[in-house]
Amino acid sequence: MTANKASRNALIEQKRKDGATLAALALEFNVSQTTVSQVLAKLERNRRTIKRRLEAPLRRLTRPYDGE
């Protein structure tokens, strides 16, 4: 994703949180309402994935140290 799309998506997310409708966002950014909806869904999905990974228990990758 290009920097322009990333910044656009961040703006879409912020304006949606501020109460803008999908139709208003679609007109403002010259995309379809479906695209706005997909952008918002992807951002939420990524946020949940990151949260789940941060909350997951750490896996032991090496054998425990036995003092030898």
pTM attached to this predicted model: 0.75
b/e code 21-52 from CB counts within 10 Å (16+ = b): ebeebbeebeeeeeebeebbeeeeeeeeeeee
CA pair distance 29, 36, nearest whole angstrom: 9
Give me the pLDDT at residue 56, please: 82
Question: Which stretches of the chain score pLDDT less than 50?
Answer: none
| Domains of the chain: residue spans and CATH | 3-54 (1.10.10)
Return the sign of the alpha-carbon dihedral for residues 56, 61, 63, 66.
Answer: negative
Gap between the Cα atoms of 48 and 25, Å rounded: 23
pLDDT for position 36: 97
User: What is the model's pLDDT at position 67?
Assistant: 63
Structure tokens given for 53: 């990974």
